[in-house]
Amino acid sequence: MGAVERFEIIRVEGGVSRTVQDTLVVDHELVLFLNGQPSATFSCTPADLEELVCGHLFAQGLISSKGDLHKLAISGSRADVVLRSGGGAVPRDKGWPLPGQKISFRAQELFQAMEWFGGQSALFAATGGVHSSALWHLNGQRIFLEDIGRHNAVDKVLGRALLAEWDLSQCALLTSGRVPGELIEKALNTGVQVIVSRSAPMTRAVELARKHGITLCGFARGERMNIYSGAERVLV
């Protein structure tokens, strides 16, 4: 299944209507069964579904490595996951200890990251209908993925990083969407210490980020951004 479809529409512009072809994003429904029980339903783009499922489980604290997965099978609108006995099936303690190793980014590097990020999405350029997320690793590696849902886009990059066994404490998580408290919880469950968004954070996100020592930046556009928490990791 492709990520886009073409539809014939009527476009009204300057007082004139005409028939044109428009490109729309395909929305696919995926139901996750965890250990045989329905667990979650996603409305998503029909690509990178393995990453979406793994990232969702990782972000919820249900797994901590790909070794926690005994089985992962996706067919059509159904994903089946079986976890290894005793491995990651119960969410981790919500005390969320952060990794001992601290990182920092130069502000100019984060501006560079967001400039790169903004130019990656051909799907957004074609449709205007997706969110994007990326991981910018200190070692130069990059992951970029997109989805119709901003949470899905984040889960996809987290899932790809999990499968590739990245150390997420060494990454900045980039997102095109608003930052709610749930995204800070995902960072705490996965080891991410730095989040940078093109958009705005919500109050609960700022409160959680300050409480748990997460660096949170918003409105990162051009060479400006707001730092809401963890400014010590951003070297100006």
Contact 73, 50 (CB under 8 A): no
Q: Which residue has the tokens 């409160």?
A: 207
Which pLDDT does position 95 carry in this prediction? 42
Query: How does strand 171-175 pair with strand 234-235?
Result: unpaired
**Are 129 and 44 contacting, i.e. CB atoms less than 8 angstroms apart?**
no
Residues of the chain falling short of pLDDT 70: 86-101
Alpha-carbon gap, residue 236 to 225, rounded angstroms: 11
Distance CA 159, CA 65 (A): 10
Place of tokens 């995926």: 30
Q: Give the pLDDT score at 86.
A: 56
In terms of DSSP bridges, do strands 215-221 and 142-147 run parallel, antiparallel, or are they unpaired? Answer: unpaired
* pLDDT reported for residue 165: 96
pLDDT digits (tens, 9 = 90+) for 44-68: 999 999 999 999 999 999 999 999 9
Q: Which of 86, 81, 59 is nearest to 70 (CA)?
A: 81
Q: Which two tokens stand for residue 45?
A: 């783009």
